[in-house]
Amino acid sequence: MKKIYIECNMGVAGDMLCGALLNTLDSDKRNKTVNKLNSLFSHIDISCKSESKCGICGTKFNVQIEEEHHSHNSLSEIYGIIDSLDISDNVKENAKAVYKIIADAESKVHGMPVCDIHLHEVGAKDAIADTVSCCYLFELIGADKITASPVTTGYGEVKCAHGILSVPAPATASFAPKDSILLSAYPISSPVISSTWVRSSYTSSFSSLDIKTLTQFGFSKFFVPIP
C-alpha cells in the first residue's frame, strides 16, 4: 500500500504542499508535470525550481498571475473554472470538494448562505491553481492512504480582504478538528495554512509519523517572515 504522510510543523500553504509532492518525482517527470499544469490555465505561469536552505535541498513551487488587481469568485464560478480544465473527473471532483469545505466554513463564519459567499484570497486564480495542482499531484502519485500531522499555524494577525484577522483565521478554526491545529511559538503573520483545506479533504487521520514505513522524502522550499 502506498501512503503519503504530510508533515505540517511549518504550516501547509498550497505552494508548500505542491513543492513537496513534486519533489518526490524524478526531474523528467517533474518537468512534464509542470508543463501539464501550465497548459491548464491561461494568464498564469507555473514553475518550480530546486533550492537549498539550511543545507536541505527541496522544490520551490510558484504560481504567477498576470493580473495585478484583487479578484474573488463565488463557489459556482470556481466550480465553472475547475470544470473547464483538461483534467480527469476525479481531480475535478476532489478540487470542488476542497472548495465546498471552504465555502461551508465561510458560510458559518459570515452567517450567509453558501450561494452568497464570495471567496477572496482562496478564490483568486493563483489559489485555484494551487488547489487544482495539489489534487492533480495526489492523483499522479496514486497514494492509497493520506495522513497528516497537526498543522502549526503560528499566532497573531494577518491582513486579508475582510481586514485584520486573527491567526488561525476564523473559517479555518471553525472547520478544523480540534486535534489538527497547533499554535507555534512564533507570531507568523503570513497565511501559511491555505492548503489546510486540501489536507482536510484528503486526509483520513491526523497522527505522528511512523519512521519505519518511509521509502521516500519530498521537501518543499518557501519563505515565511518571522519577526
Tell which wins on pLDDT, 142 or 83: 83
The pLDDT, as a whole number, for residue 169 is 72
Report residue 182 CA to chain centroid gap: 17
> Can you state the percent helix, strand and coil of the chain, rounding each to 5?
45, 20, 35
pLDDT in tens, 94-148: 899 888 888 888 777 778 877 777 776 676 788 889 999 999 999 999 888 887 7
Instruction: Confirm if 120 and 160 have CB atoms less than 8 A apart.
Output: yes
pLDDT in tens, 120-131: 667 678 888 999
